[in-house]
Amino acid sequence: MSSVAAAFRLARAGWVLVREGVVAALPGEELSGMPKFGWRVARLFTRRRALSYQRGDRLARAVVRLGPSYVKLGQFLATRPDVVGNDMALDLALLQDKMHTFPKAEAIHAIEASLGRRIDDLYASFGEPVAAASIAQVHSAEVVREGVASRVAVKVIRPGVRRRFFQDLESYFLAAHLQEKYIPSSRRLRPVEVTQTLAQTTRIEMDLRLEAAALSELGENTKDDTGFRVPVVDWERTGRDVLTMEWIDGVKMNDIAGLAAAGHDLKAIAANLIQSFLRHTLRDGFFHADMHPGNLFVEADGTIVAVDLGIAGRLGKKERRFLAEILYGFIVRDYQRVAEVHFEAGYVPRQHNVSAFAQAIRAIGEPIHGQSAETISMAKLLTLLFEVTELFDMATRTELVLLQKTMVVVEGVARTLDPAFNMWKTSEPVVSDWIAGNLGPRGMLADARDAGRALVSLARQAPDLVARTERLSREIDLMAENGLRFDEATARAIGRAEARHTRSGRVALWVIALTLIYIAWKLL
């Protein structure tokens, strides 16, 4: 029954996208066969007034009809231009995460249930909501510490949003499985894995304790940095459904006129924003992955304060080295080294030729070097790079795509502040410092130190490894002698899983087909 309900919800979502003209706005003329026929049918069922709207407006109207969980889906897919394409990702990034507020009484009930204390014991005053998004809304409140009152922001989870989202999530998984099964060319993009990432990301975002932990971690990483910080978390008043943090008084970065009126140096803010982002990425391997201008404030002294850390990105040491060497290789036009880095990192399969890949990299780099520094976009460079890697079967790397999306947004914000912004000159001090510290002599010493620690750890585990090897050898001998065997319970479980998967897929397809026939009949 769960699969049937998911199929009905998926069919309804498809119908809304058709009626609001979202499907008709896709480049269907490039399709062929049944996909092109479906696109033409979708155009017939599109609302006449929807045809006059831009594609971004059509998406926004469809999402409003579908509800908060589809807002979150759209925002998530905006971080995956490898899946939806760059143009669609830009449209999705414009989706406004502004929803109707829910009553103050419901917010108070959620806070008291989460923290186990009465609202009057927690806050000296608790105001009406000042902003509302798809997952939570924010209230202004006051707390008293040692007789001193201070203003705080209180973020509260929207009632029922978890149940609604995970119901819709079943539909997303159904669509991903059908896509993998019937569109083989899409398997490289791993749609089921993308959906799993969405599920995990949203679970984290719906537990406000984890957002508080991310704010705390980023705060520790940047405590000695000048010009950038995040709000301080009030852990005493933070739980699964509520996050209390310092109230930020500043000008939002999307208010260019307000920044200028406050006397801020817009060029300095743009440079500070880019250098802060690269510093967090390369130095710490942990960055704010939702740095649109609505989440960035500028305080009176010019300090940038980033809020709403529901989405964060992480890069391991290998990925950071990969990023730095790519940027440095493009700067010095060493395309062979850029190609070798891809192969060393294991991102491009070994059956491809390194020199051929370097040739493709050169096709990206040379046109860029013919331009002035002010017109070269690092975000565009990464976008073109990921397009080329598709030709060489490079599998989707979620952490790198999230980095690309964030860099596109951050660079775009910087250019709104300073239209003549020089990305390369601004980022050079941070990138060159990281390369000197990690790829030069200091980096070699650090690698040797890490290798020594790994050897010590391996030596400590040696007795356990020997015992495991001995057990594995005995199991292999038994397998060679008797063959691979499943116990009865395992065989039955495999049979049930296969039967359930086949039955669910057939039921889902029939439900979708019958729903579309019914809709067509009602319209005729």
Secondary structure of 230-293 in HEC code, one letter for each residue = CCCECHHHCECCEEEEECCCCEECCCHHHHHHCCCCHHHHHHHHHHHHHHHHHHHCEEECCCCH
Q: What share of the chain is helix, strand, coil (3-state, %, to 5)?
A: 65, 10, 25
Burial class (CB in 10 A: 0-12, 13-18, 19+), 506: exposed
CA distances in angstroms from 143 to 67, 118, 134, 249, 476, listed in the order given: 34, 14, 26, 16, 65
With CA atoms as reference, report the closest residue to 300 among 232, 228, 250: 250
Catalytic one among 91, 97, 290, 308?
290
Q: How far is CA 53 from the centre of its chain?
A: 28
**Torsion, CA 495, CA 497, CA 503, CA 508, rounded to 10:** -170
E strands of 185-241, at which residues?
Answer: 228-229
Told to judge if 487 belongs to the known catalytic residues of this protein, a careful annotator would answer no
Residues 63 and 78 sit within 8 Å (Cβ to Cβ): no
> What is each CA distance from 469 to 110, 476, 483, in whole angstroms?
53, 10, 20
User: Could you give the 3-state DSSP secondary structure of residue 130?
Assistant: strand
Q: Which of 175, 174, 177, 170 has its CA nearest to residue 199? A: 170
Query: Do the beta carbons of residue 222 and residue 280 sit within 8 Å?
Result: yes
Are the C-beta atoms of 157 and 137 separated by less than 8 Å?
no
For 206, the 3-state DSSP assignment is coil
Scored b (16 or more CB within 10 A) or e, 144-182 reads eeeeeeeebbbbbbbeebbeebeebbbbbbbbbbbbbee
DSSP H stretches of helix in 345-440: 354-369, 378-391, 398-417, 423-438
Return d(Cα 144, Cα 134) in angstroms, integer: 30
Q: What is the DSSP letter of 101?
A: -
* Pairwise CA distance, residues 289 & 292, whole Å: 9
- Residues with a known catalytic role: 290
